[in-house]
């Protein structure tokens, strides 16, 4: 592949990763723990998207939105039923609970959809061509567009709305936010719905690009962790950039090293960033 | 009847091997406070070292692998522990400068790299094919094939007892107290002149060596090794066992492992058709997850909690 194709491919990977990582980072900001189950939200989004599109026969856009709604609801429920009640136990217990929840979702996915990977059959697509090489498919252009739109909408949400301002207040000091009359429960709930439905969107797009598979949640969470460490765990804009850098970096690395080490590149990035700049490259440095 | 007995012996062997891993985690997290999500990495390094050291030299049979030193098995076990210790040291050198969840992410990443190397470096690990038919310790001790299970169980039990004894001794010594001081407050430990970084590294390397030994023992039991055996699930199993049993307590680590693995293995008792079998396999993930979520919700400190200093003084040697 030439440089332009690789760059576009990297942008697509980065865009999907961005959608998957933003919610993880928002949850980290307001509820202060690493939600490993976020990877399973991506997987669930992919599988629900597959069912709505391939089995129910909905239009792709409608199927995508339906999958986002379902994952948003599942995310909200997991917050209400599982994480909310044990919040006072602290971040480590929340982290392990999210691991437990990941196993539950992983098991349920295998029970419902089995272990064989599923592919979306999208049919003929428009191809953007330059000379005699194909630069990008319409799906890929859509993915980049959707990610851009998500960035703009999130930016407006964070800066222009009461909810966004509350999210920022909560992430700098929960107690102070509560004293100032911010409804912590409600703001957290919104973050879980938005974050989980974006993860679901990432899952559908990943599936449409390749396949959905039962271990997907575990493999994507590692890349999400890499992207968020690179961006600075709780910094939403940093994480967006981190996701793009990891996505493009992984796809470019294939030019120099064995493709099987594509993910290892992301982990090597984590190690280097953590050692050189633990607060992340772009992050203003939240907590230790 | 004897098949049930053999089944039980098989479960006990697995419990013993995982108990070693959970105890190593207790040294790192329960005692010293290091959040290590990369346990399977040291386990894998130990397992592969054992395989490379003890496999018969290539070229003698139909084997496709490159490296097989054909050394005595005890050399393999010692090499496994040492290699895992060395690997822990190399990971710890950069990673132990990190705290809390950042250490967790770094160790998680290190273990994934180990798995990627195991699958892709065919010259070293024979890739996805791996090794099979590896030699087992004290295989010649009994004639009949089935009774060997009991011999292996004895080896595992002795290993667990010895490691438990060593770790408990460490716990009541000044070294163990220093580790707990590091966990409770690094500043205080520093202020009384403890070299915090060195204590953290020691706990990390000793824990890694135990995990590496457990890996070798596991391969000695299965007699084969492939990269898929080293998924993150191994790490989570030890963590879940520790949370169930009670972090900070070595007996809790063993008890938690026993409860978790028995619960998992008992599902194998259900006779099932092919369709149901895959459903049952998936339901084991659900059961494991539910157990963890419910224990944290209702008994966050585990079944056996950490003993206070005075309790330890009473039972100490």
The label of the residue with tokens 């011999």 reads B151
Q: Does B119 touch chain A (CB under 8 A)?
A: yes
Decide: residue A257, CB within 10 A, 0-12 exposed, 13-18 middle, 19+ buried.
exposed
Q: Which residues, including other chains, have CB under 8 Å from residue A27's CB and lie 6 or more apart?
A: A33, A35, A38, A191, A192, A195
Q: Between these two residues, B121 and A286, which has the higher pLDDT value? A: B121
* Predicted local distance difference test score (pLDDT) of residue A287: 39
Instruction: Please judge whether B109 and A86 are an interchain contact, meaning their C-beta atoms are less than 8 angstroms apart.
Output: no
| Residues of chain A positioned with their CB less than 8 A from the CB of B112 | 222, 263-264, 267
* Predicted local distance difference test score (pLDDT) of residue A106: 95
Task: Tokens for B308, please give them.
Answer: 């206070």
Q: Does A114 touch chain B (CB under 8 A)?
A: yes
Q: At what angle do helices A184-209 and A162-172 cross, to 10 degrees?
A: 100
Instruction: Please judge whether A274 and B293 are an interchain contact, meaning their C-beta atoms are less than 8 angstroms apart.
Output: no
* Predicted local distance difference test score (pLDDT) of residue B51: 93
Using 70 as the pLDDT threshold, list the residues of chain B that sit under it: 1, 59-63, 141, 143-146, 268-275, 307-317
Percent of chain A with pLDDT over 70: 94
Using CA coordinates, name the residue in chain B closest to A111: B279
* Helix locations, chain A, DSSP H: 3-31, 38-50, 60-77, 91-113, 138-160, 162-172, 174-179, 184-209, 216-231, 236-253, 262-276
- Let me know if residue A139 belongs to a domain: yes
- Per-residue pLDDT averaged across A71-100, rounded? 93
* Predicted local distance difference test score (pLDDT) of residue B121: 84
Q: Does A254 touch chain B (CB under 8 A)?
A: no
Residues B139-180 have pLDDT tens digits of 776 766 667 888 999 999 999 999 999 999 888 888 888 888
Of A60-69, A232-241, B128-137, highest mean pLDDT: A60-69
Q: Does A261 touch chain B (CB under 8 A)?
A: yes
- Chain B: nearest CA to A33, how far in angstroms? 9
What is the C-alpha to C-alpha distance for residues B114 and B99, in angstroms, rounded to an integer?
Answer: 22
Residues B236-285 have pLDDT tens digits of 999 999 988 888 889 999 999 999 998 887 776 666 666 677 788 888 88
- Nearest CB to B300: which of A34, A89, A100? A89
- Per-residue pLDDT averaged across A67-82, rounded? 97
Instruction: Please judge whether A111 and B282 are an interchain contact, meaning their C-beta atoms are less than 8 angstroms apart.
Output: yes
Residues A211-235 have pLDDT tens digits of 899 989 998 998 898 888 888 776 7
Query: In this structure, are residues B168 and B312 in contact, taking their beta carbons and an 8 Å threshold?
Result: no
- Nearest CB to A263: which of B110, B116, B279? B116
CB within 8 Å of chain B, chain A residues 141-200: none
* Predicted local distance difference test score (pLDDT) of residue A56: 93
- Let me know if residue A21 belongs to a domain: yes
The model's confidence at residue A112, banded by pLDDT at 50, 70 and 90, is: very high
- Let me know if residue A164 belongs to a domain: yes
What is the C-alpha to C-alpha distance for residues B147 and A218, in angstroms, rounded to an integer?
Answer: 39
Host domain of residue A165: 3-214
Closest by CA position to B44, among listed B120, B118, B121, B132 = B118
Instruction: Please judge whether A97 and B120 are an interchain contact, meaning their C-beta atoms are less than 8 angstroms apart.
Output: no
Residues A138-173 have pLDDT tens digits of 888 899 999 999 999 999 988 898 888 888 888 888
* Predicted local distance difference test score (pLDDT) of residue A288: 36
| Residues of chain A positioned with their CB less than 8 A from the CB of B283 | 107, 111
* Predicted local distance difference test score (pLDDT) of residue A32: 87
- Let me know if residue A41 belongs to a domain: yes
| Residues of chain B positioned with their CB less than 8 A from the CB of A108 | 282, 286
Interface A–B counts its CB contacts (< 8 A) at: 127
Q: What is the mean pLDDT of chain A?
A: 87
Q: Does A218 touch chain B (CB under 8 A)?
A: yes
The angle subtended at Cα A163 by Cα A157 and Cα A165, nearest 5°, is 80
The SS3 of residue B221 is: helix
- Let me know if residue A225 belongs to a domain: no
| Residues of chain B positioned with their CB less than 8 A from the CB of A104 | 285-286, 289-290, 293
Using CA coordinates, name the residue in chain B closest to A232: B102
- Let me know if residue A263 belongs to a domain: no
* H-run or E-run covering B67: none
pLDDT at A285 over 70: no
pLDDT at A278 over 90: no
Number of independent structural domains in chain A? 1
* Predicted local distance difference test score (pLDDT) of residue A174: 80
- Chain B: nearest CA to A279, how far in angstroms? 10
Instruction: Please judge whether A274 and B104 are an interchain contact, meaning their C-beta atoms are less than 8 angstroms apart.
Output: no
- Chain B: nearest CA to A223, how far in angstroms? 10
Q: Does A77 touch chain B (CB under 8 A)?
A: no
């Amino acid at each position: 592949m030439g440089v332009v194709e690789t760059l576009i491919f990297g942008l697509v990977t980065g865009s999907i990763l961005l959608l998957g990582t933003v919610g993880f980072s928002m949850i980290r900001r307001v509820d202060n723990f690493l939600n490993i189950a976020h990877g399973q939200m991506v997987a669930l989004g992919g599988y629900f998207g597959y069912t709505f599109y391939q089995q129910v026969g909905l239009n792709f856009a409608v199927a995508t939105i339906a999958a986002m709604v379902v994952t948003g609801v599942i995310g909200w429920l997991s917050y209400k039923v599982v994480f909310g009640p044990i919040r006072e136990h602290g971040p480590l217990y929340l982290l392990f609970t999210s691991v437990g929840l990941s196993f539950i979702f992983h098991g349920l996915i295998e029970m419902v959809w089995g272990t064989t990977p599923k592919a979306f059959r999208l049919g003929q697509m428009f191809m953007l061509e330059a000379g005699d090489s194909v630069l990008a498919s319409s799906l890929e252009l859509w993915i980049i567009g959707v990610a851009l739109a998500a960035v703009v909408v999130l930016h407006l949400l964070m800066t222009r709305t009461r909810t966004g301002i509350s999210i920022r207040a909560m992430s700098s000091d929960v107690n102070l936010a509560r004293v100032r009359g911010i409804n912590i429960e409600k703001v957290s709930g919104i973050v879980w719905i938005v974050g989980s439905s974006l993860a679901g969107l990432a899952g559908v797009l990943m599936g449409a690009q390749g396949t959905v598979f039962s271990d997907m949640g575990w493999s994507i969470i590692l890349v999400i962790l890499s992207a968020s460490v690179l961006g600075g765990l709780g910094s939403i804009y940093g994480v967006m950039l981190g996701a793009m850098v990891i996505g493009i970096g992984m796809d470019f690395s294939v030019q120099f090293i064995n493709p099987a080490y594509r993910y290892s590149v992301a982990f090597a990035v984590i190690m280097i960033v953590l050692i050189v700049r633990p607060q992340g490259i772009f992050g203003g440095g939240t907590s230790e | 009847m004897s098949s049930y007995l053999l089944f039980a012996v098989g479960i006990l062997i697995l419990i013993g091997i995982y108990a070693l891993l959970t105890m190593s985690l207790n040294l790192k997290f329960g005692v010293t406070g290091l959040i290590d999500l990369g346990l399977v990495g040291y386990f894998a390094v130990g397992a592969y070292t054992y395989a490379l050291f003890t496999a018969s030299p290539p070229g003698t049979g139909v084997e496709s692998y490159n490296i097989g030193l054909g050394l005595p098995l005890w050399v393999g076990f010692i090499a496994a522990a040492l290699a895992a210790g060395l690997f822990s040291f190399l990971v710890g050198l950069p990673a132990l400068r990190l705290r809390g969840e950042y250490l967790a992410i770094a160790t998680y990443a290190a273990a994934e790299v180990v798995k990627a190397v195991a699958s892709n470096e065919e010259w070293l690990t024979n890739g996805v094919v791996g090794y099979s038919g590896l030699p087992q310790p004290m295989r010649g001790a009994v004639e009949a094939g089935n009774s060997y299970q009991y011999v292996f169980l004895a080896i595992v039990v002795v290993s667990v007892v010895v490691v438990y004894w060593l770790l408990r001794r460490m716990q009541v010594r000044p070294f163990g107290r220093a580790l707990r001081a590091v966990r409770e407050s690094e500043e205080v430990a520093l202020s009384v002149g403890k070299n915090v970084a060195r204590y953290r590294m020691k706990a990390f390397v000793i824990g890694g060596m135990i995990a590496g030994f457990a890996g070798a023992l596991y391969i000695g039991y299965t007699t084969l090794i492939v990269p898929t055996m080293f998924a993150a699930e191994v790490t989570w199993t030890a963590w879940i066992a520790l949370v169930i049993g009670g972090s900070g307590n070595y007996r809790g680590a063993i008890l938690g492992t026993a409860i978790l693995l028995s619960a998992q293995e008992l599902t194998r008792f259900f006779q099932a058709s092919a369709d149901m079998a895959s459903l049952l396999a998936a339901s084991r993930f659900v059961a494991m997850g539910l157990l963890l979520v419910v224990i944290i919700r209702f008994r966050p400190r585990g079944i056996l909690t950490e003993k206070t200093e005075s309790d330890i003084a009473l039972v100490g040697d």
